Amino acid sequence: MCGIVGYTGSDTAKDILITGLKRLEYRGYDSAGVALERTDSDGATQLDIVRRVGKVVGLESELANMDDASTCGIGHTRWATHGRPSQANAHPHASCDGRIAVVHNGIIENFAELRDELEQRGHTFRSQTDTEVFAHLIEEAYAQEHDLMAAVREACTHVVGAYGLAAVCADEPGVIAVARKDNPIVIGRGERGSYVASDVIALIDATRDVVVLEDGQFARLTPEGIEYTDAAGKTIQPDITHIDWDIDMAEKGGYPDFMLKEICEQPRVVRDTLVGRLSPYGELDIDELGLTFEELNLIDRVYVIACGTSYHAGLIAKNLIESWARIPCEVEAASEFRYRNPIITPSTLVVAVSQSGETADTLAAIRDARIKGAKVFGITNVVGSPVARESDGVIYTKANKEIAVASTKSFIGQIVSLTLLALLLGQVKGKLTTGQVRMLFHELGDTAAQIQHILDTQGPAIHEAALACKDAPSALFVGRGMGAAISYEGALKLKEVSYLHAEAYAAGEMKHGPIALIDPGFPVIAVTTKSPTYDKTVSNLKECEARGAKIIAIATEGDEDIKQIADYVIYIPLVRDAFSAITASVPLQLLAREVAVMRGCDVDQPRNLAKSVTVE
């Protein structure tokens, strides 16, 4: 959470910082700020710090009247952890003399002790943030070292916690010092200067060849170049990563919002995630797993660990892994898994699912599982992310950059990737023949066209259903089997983008409590696709109908009977139950978005959320 950006070169820094911050807003958007170097009338360099509560667009207007002269600066967009969203707590934070400014993404765990010590030594704090200690620590070190990079390195030795940090100093014009531990930093060199950011999306206009800084590495950016060093200050040569997507993916491309654009990209995500995965002989190709067939054959327990939407992808995987490979599979919130003592043996496979690849709880759970001896396999959307780097093997979901905070296309990419894994385990365990794998693989690929069909035909039905929900105080999502798993995701999507309270239940659980909520007009959104439990779900819906619920059914094309109990029907094509989560999730995503738009919500940046959750 929080996005940082920095530029030093020959162009106008404020424009580059604002463009970068807008692209990083998905990481947090409660306040934003910049520190820009300025040459005063005496020829001395000063730092101008401008901060605003709210989104980057507010900061942009504030900067509009500032001249364009500054060619070096740092910026930040914040998701509050320590200290409420306010101007004083917005970054950058400055040293007592105002000559050093820092932006930080992460958490400083020992900030209270450091703050006490610094105050005792005469430093004055102006915010409630943990970050401000960095500014004062660097100030003290600079007084000794007279070198910004050395001072940053020294300050880091006192800090316990996570940071992606960029600092500027008025006494070293044109220099940006950067440090990283456990939070992402990418650095790039363009024709007109040097760039740093939390995510490549902020610097892709300037270069596609970037350095993903590793923990414990430092960088010193100047207009002329970049020097990378280790914790001892020794020069290092980091690897260059080439980015193969382009900036079109970070633009709305005619759609009113990123959420809709990303929902509409899902057919491509299915196709891209499957490209090259099946050999002409029907063998699945998931070499990145990092495990031989013999090692895979020994696996006798699978844990899927993840958070939020990624956790829901895990619920779907459980059904597939258990039914195709007959291996017990548990799905756990990473935040719970990491504090339990789960049963892990060398034959346990832990599958960590994370769009961002940097979720703090998921990363901590990966580390814990590996210490306990499990093989860890990551499924992530971000190349070179911590989840990718810390797992034994990785599948990339090929969703490409996801900008809307609510996850949609990467969820589909996760389900497709997990389905591949389940097929592979089924094949290796001898539970699925090569012919069955080939058939299932092709049916999985067919979901791309089926999603497109839903997108092309169901808009009006979804609009009507959204009108029926938009003023309700609450909504229930129900289903059985795959329908239950996808209901949890439907409820999450609705509440996070529309702020309408929603819960999901396995349909058979309704009569054990939740049915008490039903009164006339209460919306019940039911996944009633054709499946072995279709009739049971319909019975449960009849119980809701009898109590006056307004029923919105996601049903299989051709199912006319459902109209007898459902007030609204959204149809999706007939697919094998195993793949119904993929198709059924599309109308649920569209429904959530439509309700949110009707309620006047910002669907791309819902309140209180951030896309990368790098704190516990």
What is the pairing mode between strands 474-479 and 393-396?
Answer: unpaired
Given the complex with ligand F6R, which of 492 and 590 has the nearer CB atom? 492
Given the complex with ligand F6R, which of 327 and 492 has the nearer CB atom? 492
* Residues annotated as catalytic (active site), given as ranges: 2, 611
Residues binding ligand F6R: what is the number (CB under 6 A)?
A: 14
Closest CA to 402 of 314, 308, 319: 308
Touching ligand F6R, residues 344-383 (CB under 6 A): 354-356, 359, 362
Given the complex with ligand F6R, which of 348 and 362 has the nearer CB atom? 362
Residue 287 is given by DSSP the state G
Closest contact distance (angstroms) between CB of 356 and ligand F6R is: 3
Closest contact distance (angstroms) between CB of 309 and ligand F6R is: 3
Percentage helix, strand, coil for the chain under 3-state DSSP, each rounded to 5: 40, 25, 35
Closest contact distance (angstroms) between CB of 360 and ligand F6R is: 9
Q: Which of 207, 309, 417, 605 binds ligand F6R (CB under 6 A)?
A: 309
Give the interface segment with ligand F6R, choosing from 11-19, 99-107, 139-147, 301-309 (CB under 6 A): 301-309
> Do the Cβ atoms of 63 and 38 come closer than 8 Å?
no
Closest contact distance (angstroms) between CB of 486 and ligand F6R is: 14
Q: Please, which residues have CB within 8 angstroms of residue 235's CB and are 6 or more apart in sequence? A: 227, 228, 229
Q: Residue 117 is which amino acid?
A: E
Touching ligand F6R, residues 539-558 (CB under 6 A): none
Given the complex with ligand F6R, which of 308 and 481 has the nearer CB atom? 308
What radius of gyration, in Å, describes the C-alpha atoms of the chain? 26
Closest contact distance (angstroms) between CB of 440 and ligand F6R is: 25
Backbone angles phi, psi at 10, to 5 degrees: -115, 0
Closest contact distance (angstroms) between CB of 27 and ligand F6R is: 11
CA 98/CA 94 separation, integer angstroms:
5
Touching ligand F6R, residues 384-443 (CB under 6 A): 406-407
- The residue whose two tokens read 């950059």 is 401
Q: Which of 5, 24, 307, 369 binds ligand F6R (CB under 6 A)?
A: 307
Q: Residue 339 is which amino acid?
A: Y
Q: Is 494 helix (H, G, I), strand (E, B) or coil?
A: helix
Residue 490 binding ligand F6R, by CB under 6 A: no
CA 294/CA 385 separation, integer angstroms:
28
Closest contact distance (angstroms) between CB of 286 and ligand F6R is: 20
**470, 502, 463, 566 alpha-carbon torsion, rounded to 10°:** -110
Structure tokens at 512: 């054990």
CA 551/CA 562 separation, integer angstroms:
10
Query: Measured at CB, which residue is nearest to ligand F6R?
Result: 308
Binding mask 555-594 for ligand F6R (x = CB under 6 A): ----------------------------------------
Closest contact distance (angstroms) between CB of 362 and ligand F6R is: 5
Given the complex with ligand F6R, which of 9 and 357 has the nearer CB atom? 357
Given the complex with ligand F6R, which of 438 and 493 has the nearer CB atom? 493
- The residue whose two tokens read 């819960």 is 503
Residue 496 binding ligand F6R, by CB under 6 A: yes
Binding mask 111-140 for ligand F6R (x = CB under 6 A): ------------------------------
User: What Å distances lie between residue 409 and 7, 193, 213, 597, CA to CA?
Assistant: 31, 34, 27, 19
Given the complex with ligand F6R, which of 379 and 541 has the nearer CB atom? 379
Q: Is 435 exposed, middle or buried (0-12, 13-18, 19+ CB in 10 A)?
A: exposed
Given the complex with ligand F6R, which of 356 and 400 has the nearer CB atom? 356
- E-only strand ranges, 307-355: 329-333, 348-354
Sites of contact with ligand F6R (CB under 6 A): 307-310, 354-356, 359, 362, 406-407, 492, 496, 613
